[in-house]
Amino acid sequence: MPSTAKNLYYEKDYQRSWCEAHNGSLEVILPDKARVDCVTSTHAIEFDFAKKWGESIGQALYYAVILNKQAGIVLIMEKGKADERYLSRVKEVAKRYNITVWTMKPEDLAEKGVKLQL
């Protein structure tokens, strides 16, 4: 990883990989011009790096309401153990509001041959 890189991969790389694997539609634009990262037959899904866990909750819930789907979050875990606390927070809220939570790690993209962010 280059020392100036904030993340190993771009968020869009995670979105593309996960959404394609789950037969979803990328970047669905809502009537108010908000963009849903991925929409599947059952879920409206927000992707965020773990540190932005709080933002992911609000966006996922909003998208789910507008699209009449279940809220989903894919939390991107690039910092290993350091990101576990954010995942715990998301899971606590997800239990209360029936949000489905998935995680992705850099290894998920590396094994598919996705190039690192430069």
pLDDT at 5: 55
Q: How many CA atoms lie within 13 A of 106 on its CB side?
A: 12
pLDDT digits (tens, 9 = 90+) for 69-91: 999 999 999 999 999 999 999 99
pLDDT at 55: 95
Residue pair 23/40 in contact (Cβ under 8 Å)? The answer is yes
User: Domain coordinates of the chain in residue numbers?
Assistant: 11-106
Residue pair 90/57 in contact (Cβ under 8 Å)? The answer is yes
Model pTM score: 0.90
pLDDT digits (tens, 9 = 90+) for 37-53: 999 999 999 999 999 99
pLDDT at 111: 74
